[in-house]
């Protein structure tokens, strides 16, 4: 407990030091940077890469995102560390940063979201010497923005970053090897972990340890993670579409309709089914199945790849 108290005290001192050097320019800059760690970005980037660029890379990003996200949500509802402004009511939060900082503080979800994208991308593009430094810088900037804005301590950010660094390295190793056995083991582990995390959150909710919205967030991640695993098994065995095409308009159609359908399921079903945990599980499960199975099955029927593109995809 003394160590935890010392880490907390150091973290709060660091946030107060950052508070003392804030400027209007830096406030706006880091409010913009922190948006790279919001939930929408991983969805958009994952879909764009999945449908148009390299589905194996998208699988790697997805594995890193869901594994790290489940770890972060699990630690949040287990440790239940209050936000910095709760620990010290005199600490100010920049602008509207508090609105996107719901839930417990430890570890940082924004750092995890951004890290799962940028670190995986940087590791994947290892042949480009500039890629990893640039991607690492972006991930670190998002983490620093959370501290500058006053919504996370250094411990929150460091642990969130380390978790994602590990999951990104695992994901890139597995999907770069293109080993069927390694992929199956990884996806099975992720599926079990997804269900276990959701069940764990419901147990804590039923015991009165956490509130509804904390359990809901974990169940959303668990449902999406489970759907991701099921969807990948289905895609690899029964669909196996080709994501690349030499017609730009086809890629534009794939992105426009695909993202429209994804966001319609995410937001439209919420209005239809209401705000409750079974509805949240249904929405996030269907959203991922649409993105990985339903939409690729449809556009692969509409936009037939050339023989050269098929050979390139199989290589």
In a domain, 311, yes or no: no
How does pLDDT run across 135-152, given as a tens digit for each residue? 999 999 999 999 999 999
In a domain, 315, yes or no: no
User: What pLDDT was estimated at residue 253?
Assistant: 94
In a domain, 135, yes or no: yes
In a domain, 184, yes or no: yes
Mean pLDDT for the chain? 92
What's this model's pTM, rounded to 2 decimal places? Answer: 0.92
In a domain, 314, yes or no: no
In a domain, 313, yes or no: no
User: What pLDDT was estimated at residue 306?
Assistant: 57
Q: Is the pLDDT of residue 226 over 70?
A: yes
Nearest to 150 by CA among 23, 25, 18: 18
Place 103 in a pLDDT band, splitting at 50, 70 and 90. confident
Total domain count for the chain? 1
User: What pLDDT was estimated at residue 35?
Assistant: 94
In a domain, 74, yes or no: yes
In a domain, 82, yes or no: yes
Which element (helix H / strand E) includes 307?
Answer: helix 307-314
User: What pLDDT was estimated at residue 1?
Assistant: 60
Mean pLDDT of 89-102: 89
**Three state DSSP letters for 259-304:** HHHHHHHHHHHHHHHCCCHHHHHHHHHHHHHHHHHHHHHHHHHHCC
User: What pLDDT was estimated at residue 305?
Assistant: 64
How does pLDDT run across 153-182, given as a tens digit for each residue? 999 999 999 999 999 999 999 998 878 899
Place 308 in a pLDDT band, splitting at 50, 70 and 90. very low
Instruction: Report the C-alpha gap between 91 and 19 in whole angstroms.
Output: 8
Domain extent for 193: 2-305
């Amino acid at each position: 407990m003394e160590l935890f108290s010392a880490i907390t005290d150091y973290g709060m001192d660091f946030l107060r030091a950052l508070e003392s050097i804030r400027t209007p320019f830096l406030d706006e800059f880091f409010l913009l940077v922190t948006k790279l760690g919001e939930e929408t970005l991983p969805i958009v980037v994952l879909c764009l890469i999945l449908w148009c660029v390299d589905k194996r890379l998208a699988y790697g990003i997805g594995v890193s995102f869901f594994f790290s996200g489940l770890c972060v949500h699990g630690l949040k509802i287990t440790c239940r560390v209050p936000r910095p402004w709760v620990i010290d009511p005199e600490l100010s939060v920049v602008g509207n940063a508090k609105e996107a900082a719901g839930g417990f503080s430890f570890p940082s979800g924004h750092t995890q979201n951004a890290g799962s994208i940028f670190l995986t991308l940087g590791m994947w593009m290892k042949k480009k010497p500039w890629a990893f430094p640039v991607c690492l810088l972006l991930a670190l900037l998002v983490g620093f923005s959370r501290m500058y804005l006053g919504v996370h301590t250094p411990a929150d950010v460091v642990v969130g970053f380390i978790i994602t660094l590990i999951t990104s390295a695992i994901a890139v190793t597995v999907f770069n090897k293109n080993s069927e056995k390694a992929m199956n083991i990884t996806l099975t582990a992720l599926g079990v972990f997804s269900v276990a995390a959701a069940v764990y959150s419901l147990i804590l909710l039923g015991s009165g340890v956490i509130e509804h919205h904390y359990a809901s967030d974990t169940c959303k991640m668990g449902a999406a993670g489970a759907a991701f695993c099921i969807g990948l098994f289905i895609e690899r065995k029964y669909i196996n579409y080709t994501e690349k095409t030499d017609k730009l308009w086809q890629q534009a159609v794939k992105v426009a309709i695909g993202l429209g359908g994804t966001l319609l399921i995410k937001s439209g079903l919420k209005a239809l089914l209401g705000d409750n945990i079974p509805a949240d599980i249904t929405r996030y499960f269907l959203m991922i199945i649409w993105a990985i199975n339903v939409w690729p099955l449809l556009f692969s029927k509409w936009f037939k790849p050339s023989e050269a593109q098929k050979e390139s995809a199989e290589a």
